[in-house]
Amino acid sequence: MAMLVRPIRMLLVDDHEVIRCGLRMLLESHTGLEVVSETTTLAATVETAEREQPDVILLDLDLGAENGLEIIPELRRVAPGARILVLTGVRDHDVHLQAVRLGAVGLVLKEHSTTVLVEAIRHVCAGQAWLDPALVATVVTELSRAHGAEQEDPELAKIKTLTDREREVISLICEGLANKTIARRLMISDTTVRHHLTSIFSKLDLESRLELVIYAYRNGLAQVRG
């Protein structure tokens, strides 16, 4: 008998009913996706996330009078197993970076297709980071411009501490590969991949895979794909 695969359980956070209704219909038309609840306010989102323990929290940043950024740390605390995927119409890259710093593992612009959103949901649920390559390129350009006046790159010393194997792992992370795939590609164990990631995060003073992706593009450890 074939094993039943549990659907990806999602919490939708958006203050517009039409958008929530449309998203639910579109997402649930795809096999393996289930919307377990919808919320419109910060307080309700934290309460619902703690109760439902969803796999993915699809979070809009603009909730009318409230800012979705404010609850990302709290959502990580009350639902530690949930992956926070920002779905936003906000094009401010400083805001995008702030969401990543606070703990979001991916970001999708509302102008993108449902296909892109579904792919992002599946990627983050599988433990991968999601950031559109074009968005990465813009973020990298702006970060480089902001730091261009510095005579010496303060990150260079950190990068020099990376081993060749750790650089390989970073490159594969930037390809969007999960730990198991990286382990097979490098012919090492999953545990060894996790050890490498722990070391990389420590050396570069990072906390998440998405932060690592942005850092890698910014500092030339990976190339932006077109």
* Interval 72-104: pLDDT, tens: 999 999 999 999 999 988 878 778 878 888 889
Dihedrals φ, ψ of 34, to 5°? -140, 125
141 located within any domain? no
Note whether 98 and 158 are same-domain residues: no
The pLDDT value recorded for residue 149 is 47
Q: How far is CA 24 from CA 29, 56, 107, in A?
A: 8, 13, 18
The pLDDT value recorded for residue 140 is 60
Six token digits for residue 154 = 């303060």
pLDDT tens-digit readout, 101-130: 888 988 998 888 889 999 999 989 988 888
137 located within any domain? no
Note whether 15 and 124 are same-domain residues: yes
pLDDT of 137 over the 70 cut? no
145 located within any domain? no
Note whether 84 and 17 are same-domain residues: yes
Dihedrals φ, ψ of 27, to 5°? -70, -40
Helix, strand or coil, per DSSP, at residue 225: coil
What value, to the nearest 5°, has the Cα angle with vertex 81 and ends 175 and 225?
15
Structural domain range at position 178: 150-218
The pLDDT value recorded for residue 213 is 86
- Report the CATH number that the domain containing residue 201 is assigned in CATH: 1.10.10.10
**Domain end: 102, 131, 160, which one?**
131
Note whether 22 and 58 are same-domain residues: yes
The model's pTM is 0.70
Tell me which of 135 and 186 has the higher pLDDT: 186
- Report the CATH number that the domain containing residue 126 is assigned in CATH: 3.40.50.2300
Q: Which residues pair with 56 in a beta bridge?
A: 10, 83
Helix, strand or coil, per DSSP, at residue 217: helix
Tell me which of 139 and 200 has the higher pLDDT: 200
Dihedrals φ, ψ of 214, to 5°? -65, -45
pLDDT tens-digit readout, 3-52: 557 899 999 999 999 999 999 999 999 999 999 999 999 999 999 999 99
Note whether 189 and 92 are same-domain residues: no
